[in-house]
Structures are given as structure tokens and as C-alpha cells.
Amino acid sequence: MINTDLISKTISFVKAKLANAEGGHDWFHIERVYRNAVLISKNEVCNTVVVQLGALLHDIADSKFYNGDETIGPKIAREFLESQKVDQATITHVINIIENISFKGGNFEKKFSSKELDIVQDADRLDAIGAIGIARMFNYGGFKNRTIYDPKIAPNTKMTKEEYKKNDSPTINHFYEKLFLLKDKMNTETGKEIAKERHRYMEGFLSQFYAEWEGEK
């Protein structure tokens, strides 16, 4: 199959699959990650088809919406790619990206590594920080009916993968438990540069938030 045709069919598949997804993990999230991945890949030596497929399929069935089941996403992705007669080496690589891309507290070792994973992971993490990251964070917090902020509940930055998946702390805590940690976890030079600017934006937002909370501004 011609690669452009494969990418077009993958886009249509993902759009249909995520038609009713939660706002922070919907098609528009995938589209932003895809664009970020394409941008980063221009400065890296990589398999661009694997990067594009990995970006498009990385959240096809996010485990947080399937009772923590991490096998559904890879299964759906594999079945789709096999239906498109994609070669097994590409399928295996894309599945490895899906299985290893997630943050989940950041306190565990990846079982797989590749330049393509680095690119897609950076692209996904960029969508978790900056203005978009803040919007997604509050959207998901509302979806889970979490408190916006409680000064009595301190952030926990030492969570295990399982603790992170079950965490229901106030939404503001997520800045410290994930968002502020991502700048230093970027893999590529392009990702690092973009992350710096988005990180500064979040620091300014949080400073303003606390000032308003305390009635100082």
C-alpha cells in the first residue's frame, strides 16, 4: 500500500473510533500530536511512516477509559494495521510505541526504545504542557469530578505506576505530579526547545492562579 493512502485510511479510522471520546483524548488531541511528531521528525533520522502511525494510533484506546486495561489499544491498533496489510516489522514497532509512550507517574523504566518512540513520546508530552496542556488537565479533572485545588492536599511526585493510575488528587496537583516534570524528560532537541517555552507559560499561569486564590490580584 502507498504510504500516503495508509496514513489517510488511518486518520479516517482514528477519527471514527474516537468520535465520542473525552475532550482531552479525542481526535483533536491525536491531530495535535501527529502535527508535533511530523515537525520533530524533520530534524531526526527516522522512519517517518512508523512515526506517523505511532502518533495516530497511540491513544486509540487509552487505558484510563478502559478500567486500566493496557491491552485494548495495542490490540485494536494491530487488528487495524493487519487489515491494511502493513508489514509485521512496522506493526511490531508501532505496537511497541503504543505500549511504551505513556507517562504514568514517570517512575518506571521503558521496556523498549527507538528514535521513533522518542519522537512520538515528545509529541504527546508537548500536548500535555503549555496552554493546551492546562486546558486538557482541567477538562479531564472536570470529567473525573475532581476538586480544582485543595491547599491541604500536597502533590505526590513519587507515585508508582499503579498509584498514578488510581490517583484522584486535586487537578492543580497535576502540575507537580506530571506537567512540570515533562520538560526534563523530553528526548529530542526540538522537543526540548518547544517544551521550555510551554513550561514557562505554565509557571506564569500557576503564579497567577495562586495570587487570585489568595486574593492578592
CATH of the domain at 171: 1.10.3210.50
Ranges 76-90, 113-127, 162-176: which has the least confidence: 162-176
Average pLDDT over residues 29-33: 96
Q: Under DSSP, is residue 145 helix (H, G, I), strand (E, B) or coil? A: coil
Residue 174: its H or E element: helix 173-177
Q: Give tens-digit pLDDT for 196-217.
A: 999 999 999 999 999 999 999 8
DSSP 8-state secondary structure symbol assigned to residue 85: T
Average pLDDT over residues 44-48: 97
Average pLDDT of the chain to the nearest whole number: 91
Count, residues in the chain: 217
| Cα 94 from Cα 77, distance rounded (Å) | 8
How far the first Cα of the chain sits from its last, in Å, is: 59
Q: Which residue reads 523504566 in cell numbers?
A: 109
Decide if pLDDT at 105 tops 50. Answer: no
Q: Give tens-digit pLDDT for 110-156.
A: 679 999 999 999 999 999 999 999 999 999 999 999 999 999 999 99
pLDDT classification of 2: cutoffs 50, 70, 90? low
Q: Which domain holds residue 99?
A: 3-213
- Which pLDDT belongs to residue 64? 66
Q: How far is CA 198 from CA 48, 89, 130, in A?
A: 25, 35, 4
Q: Considering the chain, what percentage of its residues have pLDDT values greater than 90?
A: 78
Q: Under DSSP, is residue 46 helix (H, G, I), strand (E, B) or coil? A: coil
**Contacts for 5 with CB less than 8 Å, ≥ 6 apart:** none
Kindly compute the dihedral angle of the four CA atoms of residues 186, 58, 26, 203, in this order, to the nearest 10 degrees.
-10
Q: Under DSSP, is residue 205 helix (H, G, I), strand (E, B) or coil? A: helix
Give the distance from CA 185 to its chain's centroid.
Answer: 13
- Which pLDDT belongs to residue 21? 81
Q: How far is CA 64 from CA 41, 87, 143, 184, in A?
A: 28, 29, 12, 24
- Which pLDDT belongs to residue 20? 85
| Cα 183 from Cα 122, distance rounded (Å) | 10
Higher pLDDT, 53 or 24: 53
- Which pLDDT belongs to residue 39? 97
Q: How far is CA 130 from CA 68, 180, 207, 208, in A?
A: 26, 10, 14, 15
> Structural domain tally of the chain?
1
Decide if pLDDT at 158 tops 80. Answer: yes
φ/ψ (deg, to 5) at 112? -145, 145
Contact 41, 120 (CB under 8 A): no
Closest listed residue to residue 99, CA positions, set 58, 134, 60: 58
